[in-house]
Amino acid sequence: MSRTTSLLLIAPILLTACVTPRPAADFPLVDYHVHLKGGLTLDEALEISKKNGVKFGIAQNCGLGFPVTDDAGAMQFIEKLQGRDVYIGMQAEGREWLSLFSMDLIGRFDYVFTDALTFTDDKGRRTRLWMKDEVFVEDKQAFMDMYIDKIVSIISNEPIDIFVNPTFLPECIRDEYDSLWTKERMAKVIDAAVKSGVAIEINATYKIPSKTFIIQAKKAGVKFACGTNNGGKELGNLEYCRRMIKECSLTKKDFFDHRKDRKKRTQRQNQIR
């Protein structure tokens, strides 16, 4: 074959390689953090899931002051979703949830997650980080240290599969995300997640955690889970998660799969207790 002929044969291949954008994820994605809120019905959610080619995990908020506060309510939610093409999730709320639900009931969900947005601070004040008047930041550094202690305690002690809304900061200090989330603070959270086998959410709505956090966590062996945490019908299509998958070179094995990871997490947490 002459040099010209081979070049002619190779040229279209090279051209295709250059102009075809690299797919953001060449594996199926799951959105583990979808709520039937703001009028979104199960049928509508299923339609969006099908259209986007993303499997949904639909979660109920369970805890003090939330729609579901006991085993009976949680069971009703599970029965409503059973047999439909979704995973069934429990979003555990506040820190009292463990006293409200039996372990047997918790085990009936496909997976359980929580965040660290609600806690009682070191001065005994009930804090909800998304509510302006329920956030107390007198000293930013002291607040961060206290907040990281809360996160580590939740990840280490609560029987959860995914830690969601990770690294969320209240509005009053959100602009300082990069300086407040130091490498050391990130390491504490990442360490706890690795030890307990808890996955960390990449949240499409809040666009957290940062790329720096994700790269550091990936290196340590953390598993990730995509999640939207929608408040209504505007679900999007995991745009931030897809961008992070591409920019941090995440692959299928970096992602949580409740069908195998849940069992591993339970074993690991039983071992360290």
Closest CB 33 distance from Zn ion, rounded Å:
6
Q: Classify residue 138 as left (phi > 0), alpha (psi -120 to 50) or beta.
A: alpha
Residue 49 or 91: which CB sits closer to Zn ion?
91
Q: How far apart are CA 273 and CA 252, in angstroms?
A: 30
Instruction: Yes or no: say if 36 and 45 are a contact pair by the CB < 8 Å rule.
Output: yes
Q: Closest separation between CB of residue 203 and Zn ion, Å?
A: 9
In the complex, the smallest distance separating the C-beta of residue 31 from Zn ion, rounded to whole angstroms, is 11
Mapped onto helix, strand or coil, the DSSP state of residue 272 is: helix
Identity of the residue, 91 or 167, whose beta carbon is nearer to Zn ion in the bound complex: 91
**Residue among 32 and 213 whose Cβ is closer to Zn ion:** 32
C-beta nearest to Zn ion: residue: 229
Take residue 118 and report the two structure tokens written for it: 């609600």
Nearer CB in complex with Zn ion: 118/229: 229
Q: Compute the least distance from the CB of residue 37 to Zn ion, in Å.
A: 9
Q: How far is the CB of 258 from Zn ion (least distance, A)?
A: 16
- The residues pairing with 44 across neighbouring beta strands, listed in sequence order, are none
Cβ-proximal residues to 73 (8 Å cutoff; 6+ apart), any chain: 62, 67
Gap between the Cα atoms of 210 and 228, Å rounded = 15
Nearer to Zn ion by C-beta: 60 or 218? 60
- The C-alpha atoms of residue 117 and residue 209 are separated, in whole angstroms, by 14
Smaller CB separation from Zn ion, 221 or 232: 232
Residues in the chain: 273
Q: Which is nearer to Zn ion, 40 or 144 (CB)?
A: 40
- Contacts to Zn ion by CB under 5 A: 91, 229
From the CB of 244, what's the least distance to Zn ion, in Å? 19
Q: At 39, list the tokens.
A: 């009028």
Sequence-ordered list of residues with C-beta below 8 angstroms from that of 137, at least 6 positions apart, any chain: 143, 170, 172, 173
CB of 9 to Zn ion, least distance (A): 53
First to last CA, the chain: 68
Strand partners, 201: 225
Closest separation in Å from C-beta 129 to Zn ion: 13
List the one residue out of 117, 115, 110 whose CA is nearest residue 30. Answer: 110
Residue among 118 and 196 whose Cβ is closer to Zn ion? 118
Structure tokens at 166: 């990770």
